[in-house]
Amino acid sequence: MLHKARTGDSDAWPTTVAWLVIGFICYAFPWQAFAALPSSQAGEPVLRVQGSNTIGAHLLPALVKGLLASEGYQNVSSQPGKTENEQRIIGRSSDGREAIIDLAAHGSSTGFVALKEGIAELAAASRPIKDAEASALSASGNLRSAKAEQVIGIDGLAIIVNSANPLSELDTDTLARIFSGDVKSWEEIGGRGGAIHLYARDDNSGTFDTFRELVLASHGKALGNGAQRFESSDQLSAQVSGDPQGIGFVGLSSIKKAKALLIADGDSQAMPPSTTLVATEDYPLSRRLFLYMKPEESNRWARALLQFAQGDQGQALVSSSGFVGQRVQATKMSPRTSMPESYQALARDAQRLSVNFRFREGSATLDNKAQRDIERLLAYLQQNGKMNKQTVLVGFGDPKQDPARAELLSKLRAMAVRRELAKEGVMFRAISGLGDALPVAANSDDDGRVKNRRVEVWVY
């Protein structure tokens, strides 16, 4: 099963592997320090991070410990904070230095409140900053700028049921009807087991915000009153694992012993939350994991953690913590008869890279993640000898009244990516646009149309 391959049979698996990766980092890179970062004074933290429980439960502690190890702190430990889902991580060096970093994981919205109140230097969020939050922080600069908003990994919102549940897939419309309470029994949707028991994250959660936006609101629904609510994804997953009638939603790292369903949205095929489909953000319930910092933040530890998280060492920890890192990898795809002929030829003869380029809403400008992915893709092409006519860009879009216009717009998106890479000497084998073919999301709402406007990368 997918979830066993990603999270194993033990709840401690992500933490164990993360520490193995940290151990490798310390061995292979004994001390790649960020220029003498300041130590803690009088027991005060050098950095405070608040926000998402999805990020804060496993990934953020692993990143902090990895950063401390890279800074030369050999003795790194953690202790519980003042309340549940808080912890203090302490690094001690052989020369007596000490660095204290405080983490609080009470939900994405709490991170932006903490930034505004000045009680945290970084906000962890499992969904983008909202307009109201960006406005509240506008005096501190543009929180949507590339410097302030940084994607550190990709997650998939997994829809989980008990392992004994016979269902294998659902579409987002049915999911919305289930979680709104319109569908009350498993028998109504072809399953068995009687009444459906709903499990959901709490209102502070970015996981809940993502589910509400991608599933409930997009189908004109709201969460039913009977849902049990949780601050912790791990706790929610444990409840579903023990309830044959249960269904819930969690991040990939919290699937654990539950069963993850395949999900379809609109005209897309049903997809599992696999590493490849989440990496390209084709999986209908994929989402980005963010760290936010005020643009002019002077805390050097905050900037060092962002730099560490974006680098190879940090991205290795993202992957080992149960999420999907952003390092570019090649994957062989299987052609299907439903694909356009030119696309089938690509699937037969080339490999698809684990990066899709997307754009700012209502714009032909690459979004913040895409701008960093240009650098990652360029490094991959250089390292693998793919700079000279071995790369194909394929653009996609949403339907237009004139199919020729849809095809043209999709090719123009591919050309926008080509321009950025050509500046660094990449020569392309082909540039094409396939219009509204092969949608990965419903075209009935803005979010789905934005997701379908993408550029894929293939290499020979």
Domain-by-domain residue ranges, the chain?
Answer: 2-152+287-320, 155-275, 328-459
Q: Which residues make beta-bridge pairs with 87?
A: 80, 103
Rounded Cα distance, 397 and 443, in Å: 10
Query: What is the three-class DSSP state of 48?
Result: strand
Phi and psi, residue 396, nearest 5° = -135, 165
The CA-to-CA distance between both ends of the chain, in Å, stands at 31
Nearest partner of 411 among 425, 424, 430, judged by Cα: 430
Helices (H), 58-168: 59-70, 108-117, 131-136
Rounded Cα distance, 172 and 210, in Å: 13
Nearest partner of 451 among 249, 120, 154, judged by Cα: 154
Give the CATH architecture of domain 328-459: 2-Layer Sandwich (3.30)
Fold entry, domain 2-152+287-320: D-Maltodextrin-Binding Protein; domain 2 (3.40.190)
Q: Supply the pLDDT for residue 29.
A: 42
Query: What is the three-class DSSP state of 396?
Result: strand
Query: What is the three-class DSSP state of 51?
Result: strand
Token representation of residue 47 = 């950095």
Rounded Cα distance, 321 and 15, in Å: 7
CA separation, residue 111 to residues 59, 292, 366 (Å): 16, 9, 26
- Asked, colleague to colleague, whether 2-152+287-320 and 155-275 share their fold, the answer is yes
Rounded Cα distance, 49 and 214, in Å: 27
Cα-Cα-Cα-Cα torsion 238, 243, 247, 250, nearest 10 degrees, comes to 0
Q: Residue 215: CA atoms inside 13 Å, Cβ hemisphere, count?
A: 30
Q: Supply the pLDDT for residue 139.
A: 97
Token representation of residue 367 = 């979004």
Fold entry, domain 155-275: D-Maltodextrin-Binding Protein; domain 2 (3.40.190)
Nearest partner of 350 among 231, 283, 438, 430, judged by Cα: 430
Q: Hey, how many other C-beta atoms are within 10 angstroms of the C-beta on 162? A: 19
Q: Which residues of the chain have a pLDDT value below 70?
A: 1-35
Residue 317 amino acid letter: L
Beta strands in 181-318 (DSSP E): 197-201, 228-230, 246-251, 259-260, 262-264, 286-292
Residue 424 amino acid letter: E
Inter-residue contact 179 to 200 (CB < 8 Å): yes
Rounded Cα distance, 388 and 391, in Å: 8
The pTM assigned to this predicted structure is 0.84
Inter-residue contact 38 to 46 (CB < 8 Å): yes
Q: What is the DSSP letter of 252?
A: G
Query: What is the three-class DSSP state of 269?
Result: coil
Q: Supply the pLDDT for residue 35.
A: 55
